A and B are shown apart, each in its own frame.
Chain A
Amino acid sequence: MRRRRRIALVGCCCACVTRATLATYSFSESLTHQLTKLVPDQAPLQGLHHTAAAALPQLSITINGNIPSLKQTNWKEQVSKRADGWQPYEDNGGTVVAVAGPDFVIIGADTRLSVNYNILSRKVTRIHGISGARTFIGTAGCWSDTQGLLKAMQGLVGDYEWQQQHSISTAALARLLSNVLYSRRSFPFYTHNIVAGLDREGAGAVYGYDPVGSFERVKVACVGGGRSLLQPIMDHLAGDQDSSLDRRKPLVSVSCDDALELVKEGFVAAAERDIAIGDEAEILVIDAQGVTRHRLALGTH
Chain B
Amino acid sequence: MALAFGVGNNILDVGSCRAKGTGLGAEGFEAGGEPDSFSLPNVNNPAEFCRTNFKCGYGKDNEQAIKFAKGTTTLAFKFKGGIIVSVDSRSTMGPYIASGTVKKVIEINPYLLGTMAGGAADCSFWERNLGTQCRMYELRNKERISVAAASKLLANTMLQYRGYGLSMGTMVAGWDKTGPQLYYVDDDATRLHSHMFSVGSGSTYAYGVLDTYYKHDMTDEEAIDLGQRAIYHATHRDAYSGGINNVYLVKPTGWIKVAAVDVMELHDKYAAEKTEG
Contact = CB atoms under 8 A, between A and B. Distances in A.
B272 interface: no
A97 B119 CA distance: 24
Interface stretch (A69-77, A101-109, A113-121): A69-77
Interface in A232-283: 241-245, 250
Does more than half of chain B's interface fall in helix, strand or loop, or is it mixed?
Answer: loop
Given A86-B43, A243-B244, A152 B121 contact: no
Contacts of B254: none
Interface stretch (B91-99, B183-191, B209-217): B91-99
A76 B41 CA distance: 10
B66 A80 contact: no
B68 A151 contact: no
B69 A210 contact: yes
A210 B120 contact: yes
Contacts of B122: 185, 212
A99 B6 CA distance: 34
Contact of B53 (A85, A148, A178): A85
Nearest to B2: A155
A244 B261 CA distance: 7
Interface of A: 48, 51-52, 55, 70-71, 75-77, 79-80, 85-86, 88-89, 91, 147-148, 151-153, 155-156, 159, 178-188, 190, 208, 210-214, 216, 218, 227-228, 241-245, 250
A90 to B, nearest CB: 9
B54 A186 contact: yes
A186 B53 contact: no
A77 to B, nearest CB: 7
Interface in B89-133: 91, 93, 96, 98-103, 119-122, 124-125
Contacts of B66: 89, 188, 190, 211-212
* Most chain A beta-carbon neighbours within 10 Å: one of B4, B5, B119, B121: B121
Contacts of B164: 185-186
A183 B38 contact: yes
Given A155-B31, A210-B69, 8 more contacts: A51-B11, A79-B43, A186-B38, A186-B46, A186-B164, A190-B65, A212-B68, A216-B103
Contact of A80 (B26, B43, B119, B260): B43
A75 B34 CA distance: 22
16 contacts: A51-B11, A76-B42, A80-B45, A148-B6, A151-B4, A152-B3, A155-B31, A156-B30, A183-B38, A185-B38, A186-B46, A187-B14, A212-B121, A212-B122, A216-B101, A227-B96
Contacts of A227: 96
Contacts of A190: 65-66
B65 A186 contact: no
Nearest to B261: A243
Interface residues on B, range: 35 or more
Interface string B239-260: 0000110000000000001011
B178 interface: no
Given A71-B9, A89-B66, A213-B125, A151 B99 contact: no
A216 B41 contact: no
Contacts of A242: 101
B40 interface: yes
Given A186-B41, A186-B54, A212-B121, A180 B31 contact: yes
A188 B54 contact: yes
B12 to A, nearest CB: 7
In the A-B complex, the 10 residue pairs with the closest CB atoms: A214-B120, A214-B121, A152-B31, A210-B69, A212-B121, A148-B5, A180-B31, A80-B44, A187-B41, A243-B262
A243 B4 CA distance: 45
A243 B49 CA distance: 41
A89 B53 CA distance: 11
B9 A70 contact: yes
Contacts of B14: 187
A185 B244 contact: no
B176 to A, nearest CB: 26
Nearest to A145: B5
Contacts of A187: 14, 39-41, 50
A75 B11 contact: yes
A179 B26 CA distance: 8
B37 to A, nearest CB: 9
A91 B65 contact: yes
Contacts of A148: 5-6
Contacts of A85: 49, 53
B40 to A, nearest CB: 5
A226 to B, nearest CB: 12
Contacts of B192: none
B218 interface: no
B271 interface: no
B194 to A, nearest CB: 28
Contacts of B11: 48, 51-52, 55, 70, 75
Contacts of A48: 11-12
Nearest to B263: A243
A182 B125 contact: yes
Contact of B260 (A55, A86, A212, A243): A243
A183 B32 contact: yes
